[in-house]
Every structure is written in C-alpha cells, then in structure tokens.
Amino acid sequence: MTKGKILVVDDEENIRGSLKEILVDEGYEVSIAEDGETALRMIQSEAPDLVLLDVWIPGIDGIQTLKLLKKMDSNTEVVMMSGHGAVDTAVKATKLGAYDFIEKPFSLDTVLRKASEALQNKRGRAQGGGAVGEEVFTENWFIGSSENAAQVNAFLRKASNSVEPALICGESGLGKRFAARLIHERSKRRNEPFTEISCDTTSVQDFDALLFGKHSENSDDNHMSDSRRTTLAGSGTIFFDKLDSLSIKSQRKLFKALDRGIRDPKSSGGSLNARIIASSDSIIRSDSVENNIIKGFVGLFSGMTINITPLRQRREDIKDLVSKFVGDFGVVYGKHIETIDKKFLDVISSSPLPGNTVELYNIVEMAILSCQGATLTLDHLAPTDHEKQTGYAKSSKNTAIAEVSGTADKTARTRKAARRTSKNTVYQRTLRNSVVLCGQGLHSGIKTGIILSPLPPNSGIVFWDISSGGKVSGLLDFVRSTEYATTLSHGDVTIKTVEHLMSALHSYHIANLLVKIGDEAPIMDGSSLDFCKIIEDGGIKEQDAVVERIALDKVISVGDPDDGPYLAVEPTDNFSISYFLDYPPPIGKQEHVYTHKSGEHYRRTIAPARTFGFLKDIKKLEEAGLASGGKLSNVILIDNEKVVNTPLRFPNEPARHKILDLIGDLYLLGRPINGHFIAKRSGHTQNIALIKKISKHINSGKHEPES
C-alpha cells in the first residue's frame, strides 16, 4: 500500500519533477499538473488525498483552484506553495480550507513534514467522523428535476452503500467518471485507494501488467512498482472507464478474476478483492452479448446498473445545470451574475449539445467571460463548434440562434469593412494562453508575480488582486498616485508600479487581458523585457472586435517648454516620442526619438531600458518605507560621478526608459493614440496631467477622430 496519493500542481517543470521524485521515494503515489484546469480534472478522476498547490499558476490561479477543489471535495487536504507570496495570501488560503502554506525555496524536510502532517490530519478527520452510509450522502449530486436525474441520484446513494460491482452507462460528457469517484468517496472504502484504468488506451499486455503484474517485453508498465500492483489488487476501488472499449480477451480475464474474488474473497492467484465500478459509452438493456461487453459482465452488473440519458432527452435539467455553472464560474472569475435572460436559457435548451454536460459547461464559461454586467443575455452566447460545423445555428429549428449568428456575421463584415476604410481602426487583441511571471516589487520588496489570462473583446485591461479577489481597471480614472511610479486604486484594491507592464501591452496592442497580481507588479530587471517575453510566449490573438485610435486635432501640452518639465502632443498619423533629458552629470544631456513600428521593434529598442535612480533618492525612499526591493540587479544606480552598479545597455538608456514609462502611462487612455509627443525632463506626474487633458478634449464633443 502507498502512504497516500499526492497531486503536485506547479507551472515550473523542474519543481514538479523534483517534488515527484522526492515523494515517490518516500512511498507516496504522485501525479503532476501544470495548471489549475488540469489539476481540477485530475482531482475529479484520481481523488488524491493531498494536493500541493502553487499560488502562481496560469489560467485558474491557485486560490481559485483551492476554492473549486474544496467545493468538489472538502476532504482533500491542500498545502499551498509560493515563492512570491504574502501574509494576506497565506491567511486567505487557510480561511478557504488549505491545511498550510509553505514558501519557496523549501527544504526537503519541510515538504515531507507538511505532507505527512496533512495526510495524518485527513485520517484523523475520517476516523473521528460520523458513520458512512445514507446519512453521509444526502445531497443530490446529479443536478436536475427530470425523472432520470432522480434515478441517477437514487443509484448513487444505493451504490455508495453497497460492495457490489456497479456499471454507469451513457454518452461521453455526462460525468460518469466523476460519479464513480463520488460513489467511492461516499462508501466504506473511502479511505482506501481509488484507481482508474482507461480501457480505451490499455493494451492486452498492459492490462495484464496492471492487474496481475504479468509483464511482457512490449509492456509499457515494466517500471510499475510492487506497491502499485498491490494497490490495484487491494481492498479499494478500481474504476474501469469505457469497459466496452476493452478487448474481449481482456474482458474475459477480468470477469474470471472478479467472479473468483466475489465468490471467495480470501482466494488468491488471479482474483480481485477490490470493489469494481465500470463505465460504458453504450446503453445496456439486456442480459446478452451486446455493445462489445461480454454476457458475463452484463449479468454481473445487473443489480447495480444505471443508464444516464443525454441532455437532449431531458432538457428540463438544462436550466438547473446552467444555474449551477453560473454560480461556479462566478466564484472562478469574480463575476456577480444576478439574472439569466429567458432567451439565453431558451436558446441553450434547444441546442443539440452533442457534448452533453461537458459542452454545456464550456458554453456557460465562455458566456460568463463575455458578460460584463449582472445579466447573462443572448449577446454573451457564442455558437458552439458543433453548430458552426453543421449549420444548425442557421436552421429554421432555432430562430434565436440564427439571429445571433447572423448578427455576428454581419457585425464581423462591418468591422472588416471599417478596418479597410479607416486607418485609425484596428482589431482588438488578447493572449492565446495564460502565462505566469514571478519577481519582486521595486518599492515594497515583497515577492510577487502576475498571471496574464485572455479576456473577451471589449473587456479592457483588468487588474485582479489575487489575495482579495478585488479588481481595478487599467484606466486613467483609477490612477491614485504618480510619485516614483504609477499606482491604481479602486475600493480596497491598490496596485502599484503598473507602467512597465502597461508599456508592453500598449506596444503589442493587447486590448483585453486579466492581470492577476499582488499589490505591486514585479519589477524584474527594471525594464519591460520580461513582460514582452511572456506576451510572446502566451501568443497574441486578434479578436473580432475593433477599437478606434485616438487621433487629435490640436496641440495639447503641460509644463514650461523653456525650463521644463514639459510634455506636449501634436497631431500626426502615427505614434512617436521625442524625449530630451537634461540632468546634472553623470547623465547630462540625452535624447532619443522613437517611432512605433511593432511590438518586436519596441522589444529591441525601448523595452531593455531600465529604471534608474540616484543614490541620494534611494536613501529618501528607504526613509519613507519604500525601495525595499531596490537591488543592484533591477535598477541603474547613479552617484555624483558615474553609474555604480552595471554597464548601460544603451548610451542614452535613461532617456529610453522615460519613453518606456510614457508609453505605459498613455495606455491608461484605454486605447492607442496617434500623435507626436515632445518631452523634456518629464515624468509620471506630467504624463498623467497630459493624459487628463487629452481625455477631457476627446470627450468634450468638440473633437471628431479622423476617418
């Protein structure tokens, strides 16, 4: 027997591999996942005893994964991990049900000790809990009001209080795997292993090895440990997923071993004493050889078989499922959906949903992501892949979907035409995939990080405090401070030092993005190079929505053009900046002219320029409780004579960094702008002052953008 099943969730491959090796050597059975979505699927299918969960993972972050995990199975222990955490994050994780929180880099002894303590805590709860049986399994897992939903819930209760073999039948996407795991978790064997065998991907040789340890030269499981085989032949539960995909030869061997174990539980030599649950994509109707399942199995499961009907045959359940998923995704994405429009429900209820519950789940998720208000409407509903392939959305059977699809097609054509006729109209962009970057705050010194995740069109740049779940948009209205850096604030949420990230997003024209973050963006090496890299790593996706560049009709300025600081913009048909720096030695007079061509051009010419500061100013910041993160590696330090800590990347690197900051602050307008900016010794304060003037001008009604 293994000491317990552990799932390691971390986006860093070396950490996943190291933890798995360490824990396997100690006798644990270990699985790994690199993101939250994968982890949640594995938790459903594998039912681990303990999850080691990193906070900073792409997509569904660690805190959200913890919330959903605990909703799925509150008995699973979780130890959170982070090399870029804070006290408030650790406290929140504990309140949400995490057993403990460990900080990276961690020692071998710490990991093993926490794993042992967490598993011991779980066993203690199980031993001290109430009796396992009907009282434990009182909720309805199978959502819906249909007769079949009631039958499935009754079956789950019956199966959880039995040791008989159970068979769950139905099409793909109905949750058969999760039902099997649920039966095990509510049974008297819940403290024993739950092992899944995917029959559709297991060869005859591998099947023999999995069950009886009989290896062949061609088997992929020759490395399997004795303890693993013991687990499979023990007193837990084995789930044979897609039993009807197993070869007839293997089915006969399994039936013989299972039948022998049932007749004589103490027998040995090819018998199985574990409780058996199986699934089939085919509906079983009689005691006969049909649908590729041998007659013996059909009879063996005759007393404990359930057929789950597809959603198209029980449409009255769809409304309940949609409500459940909306609630779940509200937690995941921080949305507060108060009402669901009747037309939205009508359209979904009449859709074919060939992917059943899984497809419905995905449809609702995409709708939630598109919704910015409190009501879910038809505007948030996209045609499914099946509808696009079959043309169902345009058929007379579903007028509402046809209207939505037709409107979308017309809108897309209009947008494309607009792009051809207006040089100022461009498509919005987001990322294709979620990405993670970890570092340290410049002023706070706190280990922090960011997760960048795609958002639907017209969402904008949204900063999400990973600890509190609060949000603030990356817009001018939420700027609260420009001293030393640009700070955004809304309610209880404050995000510092956003300009370097915003600069990269502006230059790559990323219009819609969710930025999960601590209270300060990581400074990295003081430049925006790392932000450019993760944008390119995530991949840029052009969306079917447009945005108008701001095009000015007059010169707008702030400050004194003779003495400075001074910042002005004059109308042009492109975006460029001329920056003039006039500081005492050793900086002296510097200038740089930047004309934007592409994100890649920005990455080469502006992004490498680092933050710079004078030693005398650093001391002032420290006295004010700031600059705790100022290190030789992330800022250019200058004394009265020279740069003291690093070779410059460009002779005029300080001037280029000022351009970098201005590009970032300008994106607080919410869209790109055309104009030639002339700057003299200006900084964040002048940047925001000019942006406010621009915003007031374009919203005054006196200005019309060029077409």
Residues 6+ apart with CB under 8 A from 167: 243, 277, 278, 279, 280, 284, 297, 301, 304, 305, 306
Distance from C-alpha of 119 to C-alpha of 48, rounded to nearest angstrom: 11
Residue type present at position 407: T
State yes or no: pLDDT of 243 exceeds 70.
yes
The three-state DSSP-derived secondary structure of 363-430 is HHHHHHHHCCCCEECHHHCCCCHHHHHHCHHHCCCCHHHHHHHHHHHHHHHHHHHHHHHCCCEEEEEE
Per-residue b or e along 537-570, where b marks 16 or more CB atoms closer than 10 Å to that residue's CB: ebeeeebebbbebbbbeeebbbbeeeebebbbbe
pLDDT (mean) for 431-455:
76
Indicate if 601 belongs to the active site: no
Distance from C-alpha of 274 to C-alpha of 254, rounded to nearest angstrom: 12
Residue type present at position 235: S
pLDDT (mean) for 612-641:
62
Lay out the sheet containing 100-103: strands in order across: 29-33, 5-9, 50-54, 77-82, 100-103
Whole-number percent of the chain with pLDDT over 70 = 77
Shortest CA distance to 366 belongs to which of 469, 434, 429, 455? 455
pLDDT of 685 reads 94
Please count the other Cβ atoms lying within 10 Å of the Cβ belonging to residue 322: 22
State yes or no: pLDDT of 599 exceeds 90.
yes
Locate the DSSP E strands across 470-583: 471-473, 479-481, 487-490, 493-495, 513-517, 540-548, 550-551, 556-559, 566-570, 575-582
State yes or no: pLDDT of 303 exceeds 70.
yes
Distance from C-alpha of 543 to C-alpha of 392, rounded to nearest angstrom: 24
pLDDT of 492 reads 83
What class has domain 428-698?
alpha beta
Distance from C-alpha of 122 to C-alpha of 30, rounded to nearest angstrom: 17
pLDDT (mean) for 631-657:
82
pLDDT (mean) for 173-179:
86
pLDDT of 87 reads 62
Domain ranges of the chain: 5-128, 147-309, 312-421, 428-698
pLDDT of 439 reads 72
Query: Measured on CA atoms in the order 247, 253, 256, 260, is the torsion positive or negative?
Result: negative
Please count the other Cβ atoms lying within 10 Å of the Cβ belonging to residue 522: 25
- pLDDT band at 331, cuts 50/70/90? low
Residue type present at position 189: R
Q: What is the DSSP string of 101-132?
A: EEESS--HHHHHHHHHHHHHHHHHHHHHS---
Distance from C-alpha of 33 to C-alpha of 39, rounded to nearest angstrom: 5
Burial of 516: CB neighbours in 10 Å, binned 0-12, 13-18, 19+: buried
CATH 1.10.3720.10 fits 312-421, yes or no: no
Crossing angle between the packed helical segments 318-333 and 62-72, to the nearest 10 degrees: 140
Burial of 129: CB neighbours in 10 Å, binned 0-12, 13-18, 19+: exposed
The yes-or-no answer to whether 147-309 and 312-421 have a common fold is: no
Task: Report the chain's mean pLDDT, rounded to a whole number.
Answer: 79
Are 125 and 76 contacting, i.e. CB atoms less than 8 angstroms apart?
no
Burial of 248: CB neighbours in 10 Å, binned 0-12, 13-18, 19+: exposed
pLDDT of 442 reads 57
Q: What fold does the segment set 147-309 form as a domain?
A: Rossmann fold (3.40.50)
- For domain 5-128, the CATH architecture is 3-Layer(aba) Sandwich (3.40)
pLDDT of 589 reads 93
Distance from C-alpha of 242 to C-alpha of 240, rounded to nearest angstrom: 6
Query: Measured on CA atoms in the order 514, 517, 519, 525, is the torsion positive or negative?
Result: negative
Tens of pLDDT, residues 526-547:
899 999 999 998 899 998 888 9
State yes or no: pLDDT of 624 exceeds 60.
no
pLDDT of 691 reads 97
- pLDDT band at 640, cuts 50/70/90? confident
Per-residue b or e along 205-235, where b marks 16 or more CB atoms closer than 10 Å to that residue's CB: bbbbbbbbeebeeebebeebeeebbebbbbe
pLDDT of 139 reads 54
State yes or no: pLDDT of 407 exceeds 70.
no
pLDDT of 231 reads 42
Residue type present at position 378: L
**Max avg pLDDT among 190-204, 486-500, 501-515:** 501-515
pTM, 2 dp: 0.60
Query: Measured on CA atoms in the order 646, 647, 653, 657, is the torsion positive or negative?
Result: negative
Distance from C-alpha of 173 to C-alpha of 179, rounded to nearest angstrom: 12
State yes or no: pLDDT of 575 exceeds 90.
yes
Structure tokens given for 129: 């809990």
Least confident of 194-208, 262-276, 591-605: 262-276
Q: Which of 184, 657, 684, 697 is catalytic?
A: 684
Least confident of 588-592, 629-633, 681-685: 629-633
Distance from C-alpha of 448 to C-alpha of 56, rounded to nearest angstrom: 9
Report how far apart, in Å, the C-alpha atoms of 678 and of each of 613, 670, 689, 693, 697 are.
22, 21, 14, 15, 18
Crossing angle between the packed helical segments 36-46 and 62-72, to the nearest 10 degrees: 20
- pLDDT band at 222, cuts 50/70/90? very low
